[in-house]
């Protein structure tokens, strides 16, 4: 979220809902719902004049989800005891964000055909396909690996004949004769799997496994996620995932303020969400444009930053993020694509200068000027710019192409936008946007110690009076934003 922007809040206290989310301005009225649905009535009590439910009671949260889906979405729904119980307003936010991405025209749309999505790990609740199909008429492949999820997701689809044709439930586990190869990424047509399997060409698997993604990230050891599950010739407008966030069930803990259930199979995987989403990225490197948008939810902001820089390394054309806030909990949405963006544009022009500077004040004790210098280098390297760090002059010389500058300034290592901000759409479609010139930009960043805890960061464009100075200013603003969020209290 940009500096100075307040998070817009509406609906229940502590929630930030997407403006198109029906609960944004109309939080569920428990008293009305209790009067309409006798099965919900026992869970509603009054605290003063306000009707409430006990959020720590699983039966209460499950019944609330059931009647919200019925009352507001005409959906019949149920899950067995203990299975992860979704909150409808929260899950609706992700669906609306995807709808924003699809209609943003950041990447060209495929007009005419029905939107087709892939829900990775749909759970017994099958919530995303049910909402996506009923709200927008989207078609879904909904995958999972546990018997209970596959059985109940199918039941939830069959209970809704008006949309049942739109949702296919698919088992992600490899067929038994291929179980020993489950970790090997393959593009497989599961229909014809018994006869042949189309293995990724050697050079592609080499790229995949030698990729730096494997070095720094925890490894995912589980069943296939996209590769080996997506059929030959299948294409999708998007994939989405609410992944198993945690590495251990202990880490998953139980939020004492709510009870949403969730079994270890649903909440935990080897390496947690970092490993799971890294595998989705690896799969996307192979599947590339067969999905218009790859997306996932994340539970840890640190993972968001790490995965964003990985995405730039593997050559995506665009990265988008958002924040979902529900009560005390924040979740982040991460989206990327390999499809060329519709137009090469950057944020609206800002003052053109060949020298810029900003102060880093209140730097936390553990960081030195050398750390900041190194971080400046990493900032530009992460988008592919070439950098030369000189530790005696405390400077970094940078040469960045217009595409790399575009990455930094448009999406860059920028922090998340809230679901309310929608800044990217405006940026991308704003008629005052600047066409990025083809030439490279060459500049130097210097770090000066002013006093303990304060540094001056100065940037100077090597091509004085360059027509690219506006672009330089935009890039420099992104650097300032990133350094301040990283080093300042």
Ligand X SMILES: C[S@@+](CC[C@H](N)C(=O)[O-])C[C@H]1O[C@@H](n2cnc3c(N)ncnc32)[C@H](O)[C@@H]1O
* Interface residues toward ligand X, by CB under 6 A: 84, 86, 120-123, 125, 127-128, 143-146, 149, 172, 222-223, 225, 242, 244, 265-267, 269
Of 246 and 394, the one with the shorter C-beta distance to ligand X is 246
91 is in an annotated binding site: yes
121 is in an annotated binding site: yes
CB of 416 to ligand X, least distance (A): 20
- β-pair type (395-400, 318-326): unpaired
430 is in an annotated binding site: no
- In angstroms, the CA 373 to CA 445 distance is 9
CB of 211 to ligand X, least distance (A): 20
The backbone torsions φ and ψ at residue 233, rounded to the nearest 5 degrees and listed phi first, read 70, 0
Of 197 and 382, the one with the shorter C-beta distance to ligand X is 197
Of 222 and 459, the one with the shorter C-beta distance to ligand X is 222
CB of 90 to ligand X, least distance (A): 9
Of 29 and 251, the one with the shorter C-beta distance to ligand X is 251
First and final CA of the chain: distance in angstroms? 17
Of 89 and 121, the one with the shorter C-beta distance to ligand X is 121
315 is in an annotated binding site: no
Of 287 and 457, the one with the shorter C-beta distance to ligand X is 287
CB of 172 to ligand X, least distance (A): 4
Of 285 and 398, the one with the shorter C-beta distance to ligand X is 285
Tell me how crowded residue 341 is: count the other CB atoms within 10 A of its CB. 17
CB of 201 to ligand X, least distance (A): 23
Which residue has the CB atom at the shortest distance from ligand X? 121
Burial class of residue 206 in the structure, from the number of CB atoms within 10 Å of its CB (0-12 exposed, 13-18 middle, 19+ buried): exposed
CB of 419 to ligand X, least distance (A): 17
CB of 168 to ligand X, least distance (A): 14
CB of 251 to ligand X, least distance (A): 13
Of 156 and 428, the one with the shorter C-beta distance to ligand X is 156
CB of 348 to ligand X, least distance (A): 37
Of 227 and 400, the one with the shorter C-beta distance to ligand X is 227
The backbone torsions φ and ψ at residue 372, rounded to the nearest 5 degrees and listed phi first, read -65, -45
CB 126 within 8 A of CB 148: no
Annotated binding site: 91, 121, 144, 242
Annotated binding site for S-adenosyl-L-methionine: 91, 121, 144, 242
């Amino acid at each position: 979220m940009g500096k100075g922007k307040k998070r817009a809040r509406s609906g229940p206290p502590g929630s930030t809902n997407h403006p198109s989310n029906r609960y944004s301005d109309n939080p569920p009225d428990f008293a009305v719902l209790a009067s309409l649905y006798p099965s919900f009535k026992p869970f509603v009590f009054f605290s003063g004049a306000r009707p409430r439910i006990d959020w720590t009671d699983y039966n209460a949260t499950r019944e609330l989800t059931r009647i919200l889906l019925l009352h507001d979405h005409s959906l019949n729904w149920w899950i067995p005891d203990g299975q992860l119980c979704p909150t409808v307003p929260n899950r609706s936010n992700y669906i609306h964000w995807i709808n924003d991405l699809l209609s943003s025209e950041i990447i060209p749309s495929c007009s005419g055909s029905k939107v087709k999505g892939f829900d990775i790990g749909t759970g017994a609740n099958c919530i995303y396909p049910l909402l996506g199909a009923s709200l927008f008429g989207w078609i879904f492949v909904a995958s999972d690996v546990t018997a209970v999820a596959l059985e109940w997701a199918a039941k939830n689809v069959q209970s809704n004949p008006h949309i049942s044709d739109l949702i296919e439930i698919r088992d992600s586990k490899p067929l038994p004769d291929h179980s020993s190869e489950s970790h090997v990424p393959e593009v497989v047509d599961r229909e014809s799997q018994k006869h042949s399997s189309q293995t990724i060409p050697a050079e592609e698997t080499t790229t995949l496994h030698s990729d730096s993604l494997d070095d720094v990230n925890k490894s995912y050891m589980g069943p296939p996620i996209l590769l080996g599950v997506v059929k030959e010739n299948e294409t999708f407008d998007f994939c989405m995932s609410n992944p198993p966030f945690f590495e251990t069930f202990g880490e998953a803990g139980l939020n004492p303020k709510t009870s949403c259930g969730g079994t270890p199979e649903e909440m935990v995987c080897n390496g947690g969400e970092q490993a799971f989403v890294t595998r989705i990225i690896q799969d996307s490197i192979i599947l590339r444009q067969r999905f218009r948008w790859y997306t996932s939810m994340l539970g840890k902001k640190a993972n968001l930053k790490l995965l964003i820089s990985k995405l730039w390394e593997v050559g995506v054309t665009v990265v988008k993020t958002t924040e979902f806030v529900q009560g005390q909990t924040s979740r982040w949405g991460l989206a990327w694509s390999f499809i060329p963006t519709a137009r090469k544009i950057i944020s609206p022009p800002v003052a053109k200068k060949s020298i810029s500077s900003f102060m880093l004040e209140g730097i936390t004790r553990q960081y030195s000027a050398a750390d900041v210098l190194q971080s400046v280098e990493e900032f530009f390297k992460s988008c592919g710019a070439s950098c030369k760090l000189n530790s005696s002059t405390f400077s970094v010389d940078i040469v960045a192409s217009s595409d790399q500058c575009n990455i930094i300034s448009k999406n860059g290592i920028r922090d998340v936008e809230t679901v309310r901000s929608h800044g990217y759409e405006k940026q991308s479609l704003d008629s005052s946007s600047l066409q990025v010139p083809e030439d490279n930009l060459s500049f130097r960043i210097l770090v000066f110690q002013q006093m303990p805890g304060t540094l001056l960061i100065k940037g100077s464009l090597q091509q004085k009076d360059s027509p690219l100075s506006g672009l330089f200013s935009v890039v420099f603003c992104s650097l300032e934003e990133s350094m301040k969020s990283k080093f300042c209290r």
